[in-house]
Amino acid sequence: MGKKKNIYFGWMIACCAALGTGCQQETPIVAQVAEQPTTFCNPLNLSYRFMRIEGGEGIREAADPVVVSYKGRYWLFASKSSGYWYSDDFNEWKYVFIPDSVLPIEDYAPGIFVHDEYMYYVGSTHGEGMLYRSNRPEAGEWEAVKKIWSYWDPAFYLEGDSLYLYYGCSPSTPIYARLLDVQTLEMKSPEVACFNSDMERHGWERPGERNELTRRPYIEGAWMTEHDGKYYLQYAAPGTEWKTYADGTYVGEHPMGPFTYAPNSPVSYKPTGFLGGAGHGCLFQVGDAYWKAVTNSISVRHMFERRVSLYPAGFDADGCLFTDTYLGDYPMYLPKAGEKAARPDWMLLSYRKPVTVSSALGDYPAENLTDEDARTAWVAHSNQAEWVVMDLEQEADICAIQINYDEYGATWKGRVPDLYQSYRLYASHDGKKWYPIVDKSDKRTDTPHDYIEFAAPFKARYIKWENRAYTVSDQVSLREIRVFGTAEGAKPEPVSTFELTANPADACKATITWTPVEGADGYIIRAGIAPNKLYHTYQVTDSTHFELTGLNAGVDYFFAIDTYNESGVTEGEIQKKLSEK
C-alpha cells in the first residue's frame, strides 16, 4: 500500500510540474466600492467649467476658492465656475448653476461672508460692485443689497458690527484694508496700505516656476483669520500659473494692522508633486480643525488652467500658521468635525509602472499615464473602445484608484450639459484573466478627477481601464491613472547624510544634496524655521540634488529628508541648520 501511495503522489507531482500553475486554484479578485467613502484625493472631483474667454475653448478652470459654513453645510465658491457647490460631508458636492442675470458670477475672486442668517456675495471689480445676499443659496435665489467698493480680489472678515474688507491684485500696489459698518455697509475708515511684495528678501514671492524671473510678482488673494487674539492677513504670490504659487502671511494685533511678516512664510506651499501650487485660498474650520482651500496650477493650454484642492492646516503652539501639503496628492481622510486631519498609510503603487494602451498619439504616449505629472497626458486615437493595462510589477493590496481625465481636442465653452466619462475597471493576477472591480458604464456625470475608494483592500498585480463612453471630445485622454495601497517589502532606509550649500550671491537660495538610498522611490525634503516647524515640503523623485529657491533672507532654516517607497515612509532623523552668513 505504501509503495502504491508513493507512486500516486509522484504521478501527481509530475502532472503539476508539467502543467505549471494549472494545478493551482487562482484566487478570484473580489472588490467592492465603498458606499460611504472615508477618504478623498486632491484635486477635488468637481465638474470644472470650461473657459468662456476667447482662446480658452476646451480648457477647464476653477480658482480663488472660498469655503464658508452656512446652515450646517459647506459652500464652495470659485472663480469662473458659473455657479457654486455645497456639501454636507465633503464627499458629495452638489452644484448650483447661476445665470449671469442673477449674480455677476463671472467676476473673478468672489468675496463671501455670512451675517444675520444671510450669505453675502460680491465679485472682483475695479471700483463699485453690487453686494448680494441669499438665505436660500441652494435654490440659487439672490437679491441685490447695495453697491460697495469691492475693488479686486475682495475678502471679508466680520467681527461684531465691524466688517473688514481686504483687497489688492497687482504687481505694483499693496494689499489694502478698509472698515465698513456691517449694518449700513458704509465705509468707516480710509484706505490703509497693509504691505507690499519684498522679492529681494522673500524668495518665494519671485515669479517663475523656479522663482527665476526678475519682474515684480502679483500680490493678491487676501484672507484674514483671527487666532488667539492675533490677526493673520494672508496673501498669494507670485502668480497663479506657476507651481510656486503660494500664500504667505503677515500678523498683527488689530484687523487693520500694523502687520509684521511671519518668517515661516509661505504658509501654504506645494511647489512639487502630481499637482503643484497652493495659493490664493482661504482658511476655514470644520469643528475645531482648520483646513485650507487652494488654487492648483496646471497651466498647460492656458495660464488659467487650474484646479482646487483641500489640505489640513492650523496653528502650532507658538502661533505659527501652517498648511500640511506633505504627500498632499495622496488620499486623506475627509474633513470631519471632532476628528484630527490624517492620511491613511496608502502609498502610490502606479508610479512609472509599465503601461500598455489600445492606441496613442505620438506626442501623448502611454508612459504619461504613470509619470505623476498632471501637466502631461495620454491621448487615444478615438473615444470608442480604448483601453489601458497597467502592470504594478508585483501583487499589492489596492485600496483606492484615481482616474484623472484630460481634455485633449475639446472645444467647449462655459458650462456644458451632458458631458460625462463612463468606464470600467478590472483587476488581474496574471494580466490574462480579468475580474471586474468598478463598473461605471452607465455613469452620466462629469467627473474629471474621479476617485474610487474600496470598502476593503484586494490583491492584484494588473489594473485595466476600459473606456465605455466619452463625450468631452473625439479622442479620449487621461492625465494619470493613480493606484493607491500598500506593497510587500521593507520601507527604505533613511537618508544617512546630506549637504547644504548656501548661495553666496542670493540669501533666498540654497542647494541640498544627498546620497541615493537603495529601494527608495523618492524623497521628501522638509524645511522650516525650527526643528519642530518643518512645514515646507519638496517631493523629489528623479534626483538627489535640489535647489531651494523660495527661502527668506535672514532666516535660519532646519532640514530633514524622508525616504519612501510602495511600502511606506521612513522619516529622516538628521536635521541640519542653514544660517545666512
Quote the CA–CA distance of 315 and 90 in Å, as a whole number: 22
Query: For residue 579, is pLDDT > 80?
Result: no
Using pLDDT thresholds of 50, 70 and 90, give the confidence band for residue 580: low
| pLDDT at res. 2 | 43
Q: Considering the chain, what percentage of its residues have pLDDT values greater than 90?
A: 92
HSE-CB at 422 with a 13 A cutoff on CA atoms is: 13
Q: What fold does the segment set 126-328 form as a domain?
A: Tachylectin-2; Chain A (2.115.10)
Residue linked to cell 502543467: 19
Lowest mean pLDDT among 21-30, 283-292, 500-509, 539-548: 21-30
User: What is the CATH code for 498-578?
Assistant: 2.60.40.10
Query: For residue 224, is pLDDT > 60?
Result: yes
| pLDDT at res. 578 | 82
Task: Give ranges for CATH 2.60.40.10 in the chain.
Answer: 498-578
Class of domain 347-487: mainly beta
pLDDT tens digits along 419-456: 999 999 999 999 999 999 999 999 999 999 999 999 99
CA angle 157, 158, 160 (to 5 degrees): 155
Query: For residue 40, is pLDDT > 60?
Result: yes
Task: Give ranges for CATH 2.115.10.20 in the chain.
Answer: 126-328
What is the pTM assigned to this prediction? 0.94
Tell me the CA end-to-end span of the chain in Å, nearest whole number.
89
Q: How far is CA 456 from CA 31, 32, 392, 397, in A?
A: 7, 7, 19, 9
Query: For residue 102, is pLDDT > 60?
Result: yes
Task: Give ranges for CATH 2.60.120.260 in the chain.
Answer: 347-487
Query: For residue 16, is pLDDT > 50?
Result: no
Query: For residue 125, is pLDDT > 80?
Result: yes
Using pLDDT thresholds of 50, 70 and 90, give the confidence band for residue 8: very low
What is the H or E stretch that residue 15 is in?
helix 2-19
pLDDT tens digits along 392-419: 999 999 999 999 999 999 999 999 999 9
486: closest CA among 389, 378, 565, 380? 565
| pLDDT at res. 21 | 43
pLDDT tens digits along 240-295: 999 999 999 999 999 999 999 999 999 999 999 999 999 999 999 999 999 999 99
| pLDDT at res. 127 | 85
Q: How far is CA 321 from CA 229, 247, 260, 291, in A?
A: 14, 11, 14, 11
Lowest mean pLDDT among 23-32, 133-142, 250-259, 425-434: 23-32
Using pLDDT thresholds of 50, 70 and 90, give the confidence band for residue 12: very low
HSE-CB at 457 with a 13 A cutoff on CA atoms is: 17
Using pLDDT thresholds of 50, 70 and 90, give the confidence band for residue 10: very low
